[in-house]
A and B are shown apart, each in its own frame.
Chain A
């Protein structure tokens, strides 16, 4: 029996240990690759590589992987969250914008936070969900569906500050995980289907004060890019920044993708390239100033946002060491750029596409004739489909194999052109971006495949074909495994070198999230959600 005094000592010791461990200074985030036991950043590291240095689970033993624990959502809905794990505590989000801290060993809840989202608020054009949080110092940072940025105490979930990112009345809604950098929180917005004007904003991590805000589409006729929108059509908006980007601490540049111009499927009223929609932007982290941009899909008319996670890596290209950024685009092309200046290096299709003959030497698409690809009243069959060759889920990159692993969708859709009505000022935009929509492509054709691409060239090394329309990201480990899931909810492990399937388990519902891995007390866990349940797997 311990005495009361002994218990207090134990309690204090645990308390102080938690105090010390709960601190995630910027240096830990910057050097996150040095502590593979934790998953500190949405994309695994600042390069969004989703590569984990853990080696306990291997191709030789993965067949004995089993469920260690499961956590079910308290509310309804489907979990799309990519958890953050810090020193044995796992932070996961639930629809619409709730946060739960779990004991990463057992899955038992430690605290649960529900922000006061108005019950009657329904965002336009997107499902109210949340894809994760950021951590910095002693705070967990959450962006809510109704556009608040909240800093929560990492130990209790108590709100430390609350800032407004945007006004939901203007069509803005947020589902992404913020990105924490040195003393700052960077966060984008969704709402391109509501005519919202995209922007990226940066807040002081101490108190939530706005530091800078950079719009991605012109706000006046004299703004950069305004001449690429005929007749002032920039006022329609678009170019939202709805998926989490990446960061290069050495270059101090933030890399963030932008979404479609508005209205989506009818470009007649917005002739021109519509800058800076469907682009990758490189912004100075201190000022928000644009260092360079690369537009993947000029004058986009199929809802192929360029919001996919940009993966940063370094490699030698034609004998020269380069700092690179790779992006598997919703438009079905895989791009490699020089991330110091945006120079286009390579671009090849990674999924079925019928809209472009190829890319020119600058990376600009050489489109097929308009009558073959533009949405029409009766519908035009074009590949990829409405949801794209990839959507918000994350690919991954292994520095050990030099491969880029992407869940690629091969499917088409009949694209339909409608009226191009958008409300001036865009406060009451038309859902779906207006201007049309789409219908499913031919029956039985939709397949998804895990494709391993040589990261520097996009050359396909192997592929693993799945049945159906999978919406799961990929994870690659130093143990030599790639994790993902098929549409039915089979969570599986592939050999990272060959793509051979090594293990799978049917989880009973679609897996719509990105798998992550971590270790506690020397035991490696892999977690992913299926339906409303988060599953953690480990070796026996």
Chain B
């Protein structure tokens, strides 16, 4: 059997991995900001902050970027202001989404990292969106973005949810993405042990009996590969049955919006940048 159509819950979860940051916020630790109280981060000295910067470089930068603007993991600039010191501490210790619990540094050192992150401010970029978010919302609706993306609870599931996209992506990234969606895709965080992989990667497969398909890779190991089409159907192939497996980096299932006027694109970016989540 080579053309297995699978809709098992496990794969659905894997496919929805890009929304895991939103979906897995249960219980207090990785949640909302703690009520205002004295935090261990308040007692840190400049030396502690400098140590925190080194700790960050050694322990966090590989996923969150050397400048904390996000890479495999999300942008951490402003994360302390958004989630509170205790909230960030909980995420570090308990993990979140694709991030495993960090147990290799002690509490004091976690606070030093938090102290350092607190100095980084709200945005990963000094650039502020210049467009009109209200008109951008109209552009979003007029061009059918909701067919594939969810904001809040409404929309499609082909692409990642955009409910809090303004927190993790700077306007410049969003603008570039609209022009060329395949150029700088998000990372696949479904299986951290697989190291850094491209998310929403289009893969073309050809079966030994000549059938072909191009769809989004949601899971791959040494023996199998699972693709998802835009209708949300999953296709798992035993690699022994495939003649070719051809990743297509640089391509995306999302079309380019280079046909938008500069004003419309700018306004759409401003709208997306304004989406900061529901909490």
Question: Which A residues fall within an 8 A CB radius of B?
Answer: 120-128, 193, 264, 379, 386, 411, 413, 416, 418-419, 421, 430-444, 446, 465-469, 471, 486-490, 492, 504, 506, 510
Contacts and interface: CB of A to CB of B under 8 A. Distances in A.
Given A439-B65, A488-B221, A418 B198 contact: no
B55 A432 contact: yes
Max chain B Cβ within 10 angstroms of own Cβ: one of A122, A193, A379, A442: A122
Interface in B81-110: 103-107, 109
Contacts, number: 134
B191 interface: yes
A386 B61 CA distance: 12
B51 A430 contact: yes
Please give me the 6 A-B residue pairs with the lowest Cβ-Cβ distance, nearest first: A432-B58, A488-B221, A446-B195, A468-B194, A122-B106, A440-B196
Nearest to A419: B54
B193 A127 contact: no
B66 A486 contact: no
B249 interface: yes
Given A440-B72, A467-B222, A432 B107 contact: no
B90 to A, nearest CB: 15
Contact of A126 (B104, B191, B197, B221): B104
Interface string B216-241: 00001111000000000000000000
Contact of A488 (B59, B66, B194, B201): B194
A95 B59 CA distance: 21
A506 B221 contact: yes
Contact of B61 (A416, A430, A504): A416
B58 A436 contact: yes
Interface string B136-149: 00000000000000
Given A431-B109, A510-B193, A443 B221 contact: no
A439 B61 contact: yes
B106 A124 contact: yes
B193 A122 contact: no
Contacts of A126: 104
A437 B61 contact: yes
B63 A123 contact: no
A484 to B, nearest CB: 11
Nearest to B65: A439
Nearest to A386: B62
A446 B72 CA distance: 14
Contact of A379 (B54, B58, B66, B195): B66
Given A430-B54, A437-B62, A444-B249, A468 B195 contact: yes
B206 interface: no
B57 A416 contact: yes
B194 A469 contact: yes
Chain B interface size, under 10 / 10 to 19 / 20 to 34 / 35 or more: 35 or more
Contacts of A486: 221-223
Contacts of A442: 196
Given A439-B61, A492-B222, 9 more contacts: A120-B107, A122-B104, A123-B104, A127-B103, A413-B62, A438-B61, A440-B71, A471-B193, A487-B194
Nearest to A508: B10
Contacts of B128: none
B187 interface: yes
Contacts of A193: 58
A68 to B, nearest CB: 22
Contacts of B71: 439-440
Contacts of A489: 221
Nearest to B62: A439
B33 interface: no
Nearest to B109: A431
B196 A431 contact: no
Contacts of A127: 103-104
B114 to A, nearest CB: 14
A440 B71 CA distance: 9
A467 B221 CA distance: 5
A418 B220 CA distance: 36
Contact of A466 (B196, B198, B222): B222
Main secondary structure of the interface of A (DSSP, over half): loop
Nearest to A387: B195
5 contacts: A413-B62, A467-B194, A469-B195, A488-B194, A506-B223
B103 A418 contact: no
Interface in B15-52: 50-51
B193 A469 contact: yes
A469 B195 CA distance: 6
B66 A468 contact: no
Contacts of A443: 187, 196-198
B247 interface: yes
B58 A468 contact: no
A411 B55 CA distance: 23
B196 A441 contact: yes
B57 A418 contact: yes
Contacts of B57: 416, 418, 432, 436-437
A59 B50 CA distance: 57
Nearest to A122: B106
A127 B100 CA distance: 11
Interface string B185-210: 00100010111111001000000000
Given A124-B104, A379-B66, A486-B222, A468 B61 contact: no
Given A443-B196, A443-B198, A128 B103 contact: yes
Contacts of B72: 440
Given A432-B59, A488-B191, A444 B54 contact: no
Contacts of B222: 465-468, 486, 488, 490, 492, 504
Contacts of B104: 122-128, 431
A369 to B, nearest CB: 23
B54 A434 contact: yes
A430 B55 contact: yes
Contacts of B247: 444
